[in-house]
Amino acid sequence: MALPASLSLAVLSLLLTANSAISSLNATHESFMQCFLDHTRPSNSSSQIVYSPNTTAYDAVLRSSIQNIRFLYTSSTTKPVLIVTATNESHVQAAVVCSRKHGLRVRVRSGGHDYEGMSYVSEGDRFIIVDLAALRSVTVDAEHGTAWVLAGATLGEVYYAIAEKNRTVGFSAGICPTVGVGGHFSGGGIGTLSRKYGTAADNIVDARLVDVNGRILDRQSMGEDYFWAIRGGGAASFGIVLSYKIELNYVPPIVTAFNVIKTLKQDATKLVTKWQQIGPNLDENLYIRVIAQAMDDDEAEGNRTIQALFNSLYLGTCKELLTVMGSSFPELGFEAADCNEMSWLESVLFFAGYSGRPTEVLLDRRPEFNSSFKAKSDFVREPVTEAALEEIWRFLMEAKDEPLVLIMEPFGGVLDEIAESATPFPHRKGNLYIIQYFMRWFETDKETTERHLSWMRKLYAFMTPYVSKNPRAAYLNYKDIDLGRTARVWGPKYFKNNFKRLAYVKSKVDPHNFFRNEQSIPPIMSL
């Protein structure tokens, strides 16, 4: 049966539009490839480096380090028109120059852990991914206590390489071994050594990056304002960091880790109340975080309870730790049987949940979970009362089918001594601890995802009375698109009074806002 004339015209119009879009995309691919070859010859064949959607390896390369798969199933996000898997610095330079020339934006992926997927998807811009996974060497200078770390390395690779050279040095950064340093260092970077040595960004002493013009700059040539901005302000707003020079941190030959678990019947509420009061004021060699979540318990009222895990690292021996805990936190009931003495590198395995496995597991950068997740963050400046904690526990227990977890990490120590303006990471003196609200799920259907996201937002709203205000602060590395897409709104939450200085630096180094994403620093004239 023949189609009506009007419908035939509509179908023809759609086909022509689709063909035009495909032709335009193919032309972009070809012109980009020619530009890329012109700027990288004779270093490599681009066929092994640049992937377009019509190449067989495209999907495998795209998914190779995606840590949050819900963005693959979101209709509002677009995938890259090309992926550049850089194997040397000239590939990164060429990617920037050729993207600008052909009207494409750039997203940079190091480990793929961006909490909102901004390193590999976009809500509108036509873009390429510059994947840095192949640029991951770590060069340790044991004599001077420093290391040059390429931005594609993971934290696990960094820690392994450092310990291989010297078992009594480590580095103050995060706990998850598969996180890429490119984003983590540039957003601050907190972990078990932060109370002793500050954030990862506090320990960066030099860097090399590709700027908007494709030039490679180091600390001296970029200037101190630019260098300041990429150590806590999110480097993706300012260029593509190739490598960082970091100052290594002393750790003793023996450290001690422990896990002590308490439920409501075991006075978890009173213990968390006490932890809030002492956690930020403990010996800076002692880090104790609390991970709280609701659990089924047939013997508890309502068959639900709260499990509070006191997860700790002490830079010293069990004997020394027993003395410290006995004087500062006797209520926890910590005893010698709870001690796990080990090397600092082994403590990395302990916190990652890899205890008993060979340290070489830290070199495995593949995504640990094929899952989706959502997180948010808050800073607490006044202790939450015992009564308020009971209300929070009740909220968690009522969310029966929701995998909500509260991860509370102590501040204090050296973090109190570093000025808020020293780096763009402003969360210093006055913060007792940071809360990360986290949930992970494995289903891929839209209904389940929306339900989980809704519960996370409800929890965040519920916590409003108990956390920082004016602004309600947030941590950049726990990126949260719910904070908005308007820089005036989210900027002060992530950066407080440092936000305007970041926008000023942006206006100097990238005035036309080439390096941008849904929550990137805008030039100051755009505020």
Report the pLDDT averaged over residues 268-297.
97
Report the pLDDT averaged over residues 415-444.
97
Per-residue pLDDT band at 8 (split at 50, 70, 90): low
Q: Give pLDDT, residue 526.
A: 77
Q: Phi and psi of 106, rounded to 5°?
A: -125, 130
Q: Cis link prior to 471 (omega < 30° from 0)? A: yes
433 is catalytic: no
Report the pLDDT averaged over residues 167-189.
97
The active-site residue out of 197, 478, 494, 504 is 478
Question: Measured between alpha carbons, how far is residue 413 from residues 111, 150, 352, 416, 431 in Å?
Answer: 29, 29, 23, 6, 11
Amino acid letter, 368: E
Count of C-beta atoms within a 10 Å radius of residue 135: 22
Instruction: Tell me if residue 470 falls in helix, strand or coil.
Output: coil
Tokens of 164: 């291989």
CA end-to-end span of the chain: 58
More confident residue, 13 or 175: 175
Q: Give pLDDT, residue 369.
A: 83
Half-sphere exposure of 288 (CA within 13 A, CB side): 27
Instruction: Tell me if 498 sits within 8 A of 518, measured CB to CB.
Output: no
- β-bridge mates for residue 304, sequence order: 296
Pairwise CA distance, residues 24 & 106, whole Å: 19
pLDDT tens column, 95-118: 999 999 999 999 999 999 999 999
Amino acid letter, 466: Y
> Does residue 433 have a pLDDT over 80?
yes
Pairwise CA distance, residues 357 & 404, whole Å: 28
Mean pLDDT (the chain, rounded): 93
pLDDT tens column, 246-277: 999 999 999 999 999 999 999 999 999 999 99
Q: Give pLDDT, residue 525.
A: 83
More confident residue, 73 or 259: 259
Return the beta strands (E) in 355-397 as ranges. 372-380
Q: Give pLDDT, residue 16.
A: 47
> Does residue 5 have a pLDDT over 60?
no
**Burial letters 220-230, b for 16+ CB under 10 A, else e:** eebeeebbbbb
Per-residue pLDDT band at 368 (split at 50, 70, 90): confident
Q: Which of 13-17, 50-54, 384-388, 410-414 has the lowest mean pLDDT?
A: 13-17
Q: Give pLDDT, residue 338.
A: 98
Q: Give pLDDT, residue 11.
A: 47
pTM: 0.94
Q: Give pLDDT, residue 158.
A: 98
Report the pLDDT averaged over residues 231-260.
98
> Does residue 493 have a pLDDT over 80?
yes
Q: Give pLDDT, residue 24.
A: 56
Q: Give pLDDT, residue 18.
A: 41
Q: Give pLDDT, residue 15.
A: 45
Instruction: Tell me if 207 sits within 8 A of 296, measured CB to CB.
Output: no
More confident residue, 403 or 301: 403
> Does residue 3 have a pLDDT over 90?
no
Report the pLDDT averaged over residues 230-257.
98
Per-residue pLDDT band at 44 (split at 50, 70, 90): low
Q: Phi and psi of 378, rounded to 5°?
A: -145, 160
